[in-house]
Structure 1
Amino acid sequence: MPSTIEYSASKVADCNYENNTSWGREVGLAYETVTEDTLTGLRTHKLGWKSTFLRLNPPAFMGYAAQDVCYMLLSAYCIITNTSFLPKVEEPIVYVPIFIFVMNKLEFLALYLLLGKSLRAWWNGHRAERITTTSSMLLAFLTMLLKNLGLSETVFDITQKTQFTFDDDHKVGRFVFDKSPIFVPGTSLLLVHLTALAMWVFGLQPAAATGGVGSGLGEILCSMWVVLNFWPFIKGLFGKGKYGIPWSTIWKSAVLVLLFVQLSKWTPMD
């Protein structure tokens, strides 16, 4: 069971804690500013609050970006190399991963519905989690890895917040892209799966290894599922202006996809 301080902290950290209240402004939280963390710290200390460090056991916020990216690449890898990691449709054991997948999605859908959220809110939240994992979280993982290896220093950049105008009302919900490297992993992941699906559609997969089992419906559906999760990036490939993925990002991603495809062909699973 969590301690009293951990329980209280989790309640305060909840997104709904201060709904319809002025609690945040009363305790000194700063809103509508790109430096809200710094201003909040200054304001809360001015009001007499004292900072404390909460060390949890096990440690929190360790992340899982690298692992998640590997999982999302697995189905594309299997299609490209014509190998498999899932049972075939005719095998009874195929119901095990299907059951786990469906129950996982239903669990989170039930949580959204219990909170009064819509099906669309659940879908948007699910996609946002996948996209965040392969963008900001992955970039943070690589940054800390380079720092721990002594190859780079961590630098905090204040990023520009998106400002919408009246003319943008009809595009609410659209992703805004720029030349930041944060969009390269997501674009690369999408292009990898589109490449894999194209190889399957046009029969460009290599022959399955002798005695091996080639990729099947399970791998195809997994790859399609990833593409659906990254649908905002699909729109970005054809979007214009700030709603389109810059060509520099697309070219960088294309190079990474080419490397992935070649490495996959050289290292097929047995």
Structure 2
Amino acid sequence: MFKSLIELSFEITKVACTLSPINFKLKRLKTYLLFIYLFPSQKLYEDMRNRIESAMKVGQISEEIRKQHKGFGEWDLVSDPRNHQTILQVLLTPIRGTEGCKKGRERIILHFLLMFDLINLLLISQILIDGRDGKAMDVEGQPLPTLVYLSREKRPKYAHNFKAGAMNALIRVSSRISNCEIILNVDCDMYSNNSESVKDALCFLMDEETGREIAYVQFPQCFNNITKNDLYASSLNVIMEVELAGFDSNGGPCYIGTGCFHRRETLCGKKYDMECEREQTTRNNDGKIEESASVLEETCKVLASCSYEDNTQWGKEMGLKYGCPVEDVLTGLSIQCRGWKSIYFTPERKAFLGVAPTTLLQSLIQHKRWSEGDFQIFLSSYCPFTYGHKRIPLKLQISYCIFLLWAPNCLPTLYYVAIPSLCLLKGISLFPKISSLWILPFAYVMSSSCAYSLGEFIWCGGTLLGWWNDQRMWVFKRTTSHFFGFSETILKQLGFSRSSFAVTSKVADEEESKRFEQEIMEFGAASPMFTILATLALLNLFTFVGGIKRVIIDMQAQVLDSLLLQILLCGVLVLMNLPVYHGLFFRKDATRMPCSVTYQSIAFALLACSLALY
């Protein structure tokens, strides 16, 4: 039927093309209207898109739409997005009771709860449908899922715990509405790209032999806006396709905060044992008491209140862990240490797609939060080597340290970026001479490391220029993001600072997106991270020129023999920093390096060179 309707629409369009140009527009319009008539879901989508575009142009929601949903009226009473009551509305409610989920494991109906916990974010809703009358069906006659709008209560006197707090409120509210066994967690900027992902996850979770011990199924974090050569190394291809796959073989992947199907009871603190396995075997999903939508909403508002977690185990033994910028990794580690296992699955068609950072600063801030949170876990009581001792395999403990030790990796990187260059300026040799046999181990390590890294990157679908961008970004991240993450973690351990949660921007303007697509590196902000980048870039430029000058003036083979490796290292760093030089001195647009950063970096670089010479 579907195919015949498509063919009918195509035939009408083909006939219209044979008519005069004047009539063609009219015929094309009629064809479009016929298509909308035949496929009402397409019409609903077009209506939604038009309403969103209209709201974007006007800058506000029309009164007609505002009157349709009480949530808008409740938001009108909110003067501060960080200080407001719980706002909740059930938009779609399918049939409840045992008929909706017979025998639990034989038939699972997924209920989706949308939580909008971002500042100033309102939902433009579709038509309200009460599915309990049995008519909540889509155009194909399938039951519609539960759809809920929720903005949890926030008060200045209560810590809202950012994403972890939002997820825990989500878990509680969804347990009241559906209490289904499986929870899908995705970030607000991600969407489903593979309808088979639900079936794939359930195949693991419902496997008769090993499914009962699986806590969650983790899919890769992928993005839909990655450029050809991945300017900011945002795709994380090697991490997703190699390192997390290694996690899987070593005992199970870590939870990365999105694209993950959870077993509800594991998020609620349940330990895995043989008794748990017997419970899952005999469990029957009993029907819940019928409630009207209004009563259900009021009940759920209590669960999403800011004081509900007082004197409870939420954020400690239940739900996502609090007190860490990477609550997802910490929560996944805790679940695995309670005896549960996890699965990493990478389907050929990407399961979920999101939006990668479109500016350099966004990427650096994101990695600063990741490295800081990971290092906090390593220094806390949840360190895999202590907390995971005799709970998870040693190889899995070591696997976690790949990420947990990102931050301290800044120290050797900063050394190799700065010290050899300064010694080159002074004429001090740090590496073996080219004529010495001791150069062979250095040459082997450098060449094999680069060759392996390049081969790995190409195997993961990257390009040669993409690999070069990836190497540049790792240097940038380690000298800025990881350095700040390391410093703030040490200060926190000493009691001089507190952890902060830096939210990565999910919105890019048209000009910013255009520069990103053209792979033009964006600066434009007076950030301490840019000051460090520019200072190191200028430092290597000055020392490289000084080193070349020394070789030319001395004209002695022994000088080149002893300093060649340092000259090569300094030269590679200069090549890596070409976009920084371009932003410092040649670009004139608003996204060039700010003048304040330029002046500061020049002063710091000259000061460092002066100290090295004298």
On whether the aligned pair clears a TM of 0.5, the verdict is yes
Query: Does 1:241 pair with 2:569?
Result: no
CA contact (8 A) 1:82 1:214 kept: no
C-alpha change, 1:150 and 1:167, in structure 2 (3 Å) is closer
**Cross-structure match for 1:103:** 448
C-alpha change, 1:150 and 1:56, in structure 2 (3 Å) is closer
- TM-fit CA distance, 1:174: 1.6
C-alpha change, 1:130 and 1:16, in structure 2 (3 Å) is farther
C-alpha change, 1:92 and 1:125, in structure 2 (3 Å) is same
Q: Secondary structure at the match of 2:252?
A: helix
Once the two structures are superposed, residues 179-224 of structure 1 have per-residue CA deviations (whole angstroms, 9 ceiling, x without a partner) of 111111111111111111222344499x9xxxx9995211111100
- TM-fit CA distance, 1:9: 3.1
2:520 maps to amino acid? R
Which of 255-264 and 115-124 deviates more?
Answer: 255-264
CA contact (8 A) 1:176 1:243 kept: yes
**Cross-structure match for 1:112:** 457
C-alpha change, 1:242 and 1:161, in structure 2 (3 Å) is farther
**Cross-structure match for 1:50:** none
Which of 156-165 and 216-225 deviates more?
Answer: 156-165
**Cross-structure match for 1:9:** 254
1:174 maps to amino acid? I
Which of these residues, 327, 338, 349, is aligned with residue 20 of structure 1? 349
> When you count strand as a share of all residues, which structure comes out higher?
2
C-alpha change, 1:31 and 1:186, in structure 2 (3 Å) is closer
Q: Aligned equivalents of 2:507 and 2:542: distance in 1?
A: 31
Query: Does 1:180 pair with 2:509?
Result: no
**Cross-structure match for 2:384:** 56
CA contact (8 A) 2:425 2:546 kept: yes
Q: Aligned equivalents of 1:5 and 1:255: distance in 2?
A: 49
Please list every run of 5 or more consecutive structure 1 residues that lacks an aligned counterpart in the other structure: 25-29, 38-52
TM-score by length of 2: 0.34
C-alpha change, 1:106 and 1:241, in structure 2 (3 Å) is same
Q: Aligned equivalents of 1:144 and 1:54: distance in 2?
A: 15
- TM-fit CA distance, 1:32: 8.3
Which of these residues, 462, 476, 483, is aligned with residue 131 of structure 1? 476
C-alpha change, 1:245 and 1:170, in structure 2 (3 Å) is closer
- TM-fit CA distance, 1:108: 1.0
**Rg bigger for which structure?**
2
- TM-fit CA distance, 1:123: 1.5
**Cross-structure match for 2:541:** 194
Query: Does 1:225 pair with 2:554?
Result: no
> When you count helix as a share of all residues, which structure comes out higher?
1
2:587 maps to amino acid? G
TM-score by length of 1: 0.72
Q: Secondary structure at the match of 1:216?
A: helix
Please list every run of 5 or more consecutive structure 2 residues that lacks an aligned counterpart in the other structure: 1-245, 261-342, 367-380, 386-397
**Cross-structure match for 2:500:** 155
**Cross-structure match for 1:143:** 488
CA contact (8 A) 1:184 1:253 kept: yes
Q: Aligned equivalents of 1:198 and 1:182: distance in 2?
A: 25
**Cross-structure match for 2:437:** 92
Say what the alpha-carbon RMSD is for the aligned residues: 4.0
Q: What is the aligned-residue identity percentage? A: 20
Which of 4-13 and 140-149 deviates more?
Answer: 4-13
C-alpha change, 1:21 and 1:224, in structure 2 (3 Å) is closer
Q: Aligned equivalents of 2:606 and 2:349: distance in 1?
A: 51
Once the two structures are superposed, residues 70-127 of structure 1 have per-residue CA deviations (whole angstroms, 9 ceiling, x without a partner) of 1211221211221011122222322321221010000011112222322122112111
Question: Which one scores higher on RCO, CA 8 angstroms, separation ≥ 6?
Answer: 1
Q: Secondary structure at the match of 1:9?
A: coil
Query: Does 1:262 pair with 2:591?
Result: no
CA contact (8 A) 1:66 1:141 kept: no
Q: How many residue pairs were aligned?
A: 240
